């Protein structure tokens, strides 16, 4: 059984074809700059990757281009589309409607549309991808996997904001949380690595990439998470500011004369590592500048680690202890220096990082010392495989 997983962004469309028998990637690719004159399509894995220059005016054409490449008689990966059993779509916002992935029907499409105002850059392209697949592969089962679904188990004390209650009742202003598929995947994998049932574990999962979020997981359920009504809340990120005093927003608008749009752009695209270092949103660049003596880069680096550290601390208390802290994504998986800074000085809390194990790379591993009551685990995330598994489960 092969499953096609599609992740449509505002101007891109990523995909993976997954073989569910071997649970491996058959092929993958990305259509970039969708809607622009210089759009292109990258297809294939590692050395087999090729770049196809093709005009992709919209997501429908992008899906069409992907399907054409997959069934190409000379270079294709499947003989026909019949070999693809079903399609899974990553959908960023499912609001309060979905606590699990679902088979897509008209009702689901309507609900995703309803949530578009909460994720205006992400839900509409996902819908375009779904509609394109319905048209180009009629009758093929399709599944939606929501970034928000895993966090629907949060109790009200975690998802409510201390605003007037009507803001929640009338406008559904509450914490939704994101990166749910990644948090769920690494929690499940960590339990297997630790050889304990997930239900018996208290975990703090840390998705640290360009976007960053933490989740507190108890009995396999998300009970709190750092991203909120939007993916702007919480930790300092590559270009996003995360938590700041909300009065800064009104100050920027009222005192500095910024438009609401400009303030939003500043917080989403010009802040975080980029805003503090003034150099880059990429931690590798910030690290290199730090090592070359750049003080603002060093400050950005310290602020990033401190932001993660403080959030981990708050979740230890919220959970009443923790069995393992699990790290993933670009920074969490690869940056031993950032991991060292995050876990420095926590020995009195039973967190002992093994400096030697911390330098290893590229596979699922425990990087805490044997004697450490709290385990530190690194799990390379695989949201596409998680979505493909949901598709297989729901379409079985
Ligand atoms: P992601 O959003 O998961 O793709 O992660 C992107 C972030 O991971 C960027 O800030 C990268 O700088 C960071 N990253 C990737 N590889 C490394 C590495 N080897 N060392 C430090 N940061 C890395």
SS3 117: helix
Based on the fold, state whether residues 138 and 210 are members of the same structural domain: no
How many angstroms is it from 207 CA to the middle of ligand 1?
Answer: 11
How many angstroms is it from 209 CA to the middle of ligand 1?
Answer: 6
Flag whether 393 is in a domain: no
Ligand 1 contact, 332 CB (< 6 A): no
Atom of ligand 1 nearest to the CA of 381: 3
Q: Which residue lies with its CA nearest to atom 9 of ligand 1?
A: 282
Strands 40-43 and 24-32, bridge-based pairing: antiparallel
How many other C-beta atoms lie within 10 A of the C-beta of residue 50? 11
Q: How far apart are CA 83 and CA 62, in angstroms?
A: 20
Which has the closest alpha carbon to 221: 279, 180, 164?
180
For residue 173, name the pLDDT band (cuts at 50, 70, 90). Answer: very high
Which has the closest alpha carbon to 88: 100, 72, 76?
100
Which of 209, 211, 286, 382, when mutated, tests ligand 1's pocket best, judged by the most ligand atoms within 8 Å of its CB?
Answer: 209
Based on the fold, state whether residues 134 and 209 are members of the same structural domain: no
- Taking the CA atoms of residue 21, residue 26, residue 30 and residue 31 in that order, the dihedral angle to the nearest 10 degrees is -100
Based on the fold, state whether residues 217 and 328 are members of the same structural domain: yes
Which of 334, 341, 380, when mutated, tests ligand 1's pocket best, judged by the most ligand atoms within 8 Å of its CB?
Answer: 334
pLDDT over threshold 90, residue 358:
yes
82 is catalytic: no
How many angstroms is it from 206 CA to the middle of ligand 1?
Answer: 14
pLDDT over threshold 90, residue 327:
yes
Flag whether 14 is in a domain: yes
Q: Which residue lies with its CA nearest to atom 8 of ligand 1?
A: 330
Structure tokens at 32: 């970039």
Could you give the number of structural domains in the chain?
Answer: 2
Ligand 1 contact, 334 CB (< 6 A): yes
Domain that holds residue 336: 195-383
How many angstroms is it from 285 CA to the middle of ligand 1?
Answer: 10
Atom of ligand 1 nearest to the CA of 287: 21
Exactly one of 147, 224, 323, 390 is catalytic; which is it? 147
CA angle 42, 181, 126 (to 5 degrees): 55
3-state secondary structure 130-146: HHHHHHHCCCCCEEEEE
Residues 6 or more apart in contact with residue 41 via CB below 8 angstroms? 29, 30, 31, 32, 51, 52, 53, 54, 56, 62, 65, 66, 69
Based on the fold, state whether residues 87 and 233 are members of the same structural domain: no
Ligand 1 contact, 282 CB (< 6 A): yes
Show the DSSP H helices in the chain as ranges.
59-70, 106-114, 123-136, 156-159, 165-171, 180-194, 247-254, 260-269, 272-277, 283-291, 295-319, 329-334, 336-343, 383-395
How many other C-beta atoms lie within 10 A of the C-beta of residue 177? 29
How many angstroms is it from 317 CA to the middle of ligand 1?
Answer: 29
pLDDT of residue 164: 98
Ligand 1 contact, 364 CB (< 6 A): no
pLDDT of residue 10: 87
What is the mean pLDDT of the segment spanning 196-211? Answer: 97
Last residue of a domain, one of 113, 146, 179: 146
Q: How far apart are CA 61 and CA 59, in angstroms?
A: 5
Ligand 1 contact, 284 CB (< 6 A): yes
Ligand 1 contact, 283 CB (< 6 A): yes
- For 84, the enclosing helix (H) or strand (E) is strand 84-91
Q: What is the overall mean pLDDT for the chain? A: 96
Based on the fold, state whether residues 128 and 200 are members of the same structural domain: no
pLDDT over threshold 90, residue 117:
no
Based on the fold, state whether residues 73 and 209 are members of the same structural domain: no
Atom of ligand 1 nearest to the CA of 338: 21
pLDDT of residue 60: 97
How many other C-beta atoms lie within 10 A of the C-beta of residue 33? 13
Flag whether 256 is in a domain: yes
Based on the fold, state whether residues 217 and 142 are members of the same structural domain: no
**Domain holding 236: CATH number?**
3.30.420.40
For residue 118, name the pLDDT band (cuts at 50, 70, 90). Answer: confident
Atom of ligand 1 nearest to the CA of 285: 12
Atom of ligand 1 nearest to the CA of 332: 8
SS3 342: helix
Of the chain, the percentage scoring pLDDT greater than 90 comes to 96
Q: Give the dihedral sign, CA 186/220/17/32.
A: negative
Cα–Cα distance list, 40 to 7, 31, 33, 53, 131 (Å): 16, 6, 7, 5, 21
Q: How far apart are CA 291 and CA 297, in angstroms?
A: 9
For residue 120, name the pLDDT band (cuts at 50, 70, 90). Answer: confident
């Amino acid at each position: 059984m092969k499953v096609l997983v599609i992740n449509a962004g505002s101007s891109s469309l990523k995909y993976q074809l997954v073989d569910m028998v071997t649970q491996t990637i058959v092929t993958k690719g990305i259509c970039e700059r969708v809607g622009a004159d210089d759009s292109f399509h990258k297809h294939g894995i590692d050395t087999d990757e090729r770049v196809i220059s093709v005009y992709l005016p919209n997501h429908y054409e992008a899906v069409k281009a992907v399907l054409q490449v997959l069934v190409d008689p000379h270079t294709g990966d499947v003989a026909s589309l019949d070999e693809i059993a079903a399609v899974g779509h990553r959908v960023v916002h499912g609001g309060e409607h979905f606590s699990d992935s679902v088979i897509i029907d008209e009702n689901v499409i309507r609900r995703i549309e309803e949530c578009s105002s909460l994720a205006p850059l992400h839900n509409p392209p996902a819908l375009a991808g779904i509609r394109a697949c319905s048209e180009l592969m009629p009758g093929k089962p399709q599944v939606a996997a929501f970034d928000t679904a895993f966090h629907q188990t949060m109790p009200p004390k975690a998802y409510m904001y201390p605003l007037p209650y009507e803001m929640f009742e009338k406008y559904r202003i509450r914490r939704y949380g994101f990166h749910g598929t990644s948090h769920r995947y690494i929690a499940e994998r960590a339990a297997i690595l630790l050889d304990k049932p997930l239900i018996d574990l208290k975990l703090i999962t840390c998705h640290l990439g360009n976007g960053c979020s933490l989740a507190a997981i108890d009995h396999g359920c998300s009970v709190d998470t750092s991203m909120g009504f939007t993916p702007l809340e919480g930790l300092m990120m590559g270009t996003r500011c995360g938590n700041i005093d909300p009065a800064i927003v009104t100050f920027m608008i009222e005192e500095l004369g910024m438009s609401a749009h400009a303030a939003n752009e500043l917080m989403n695209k010009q802040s975080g590592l980029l805003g503090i270092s003034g150099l880059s949103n990429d931690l590798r660049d910030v690290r290199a500048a730090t090592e070359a003596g750049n003080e603002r880069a060093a400050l950005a680096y310290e602020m990033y680690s401190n932001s993660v550290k403080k959030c981990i601390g708050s979740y230890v208390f919220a959970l009443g202890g923790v069995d393992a802290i699990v790290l993933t994504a670009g920074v969490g998986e690869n940056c031993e220096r950032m991991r060292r800074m995050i876990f420095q000085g926590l020995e009195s809390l039973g967190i002992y990082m093994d400096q030697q194990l911390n330098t290893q790379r590229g596979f699922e591993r425990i990087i805490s010392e044997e004697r450490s009551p709290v385990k530190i685990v690194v799990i390379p995330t695989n949201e596409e495989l998680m979505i493909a598994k949901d598709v297989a489960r729901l379409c079985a």
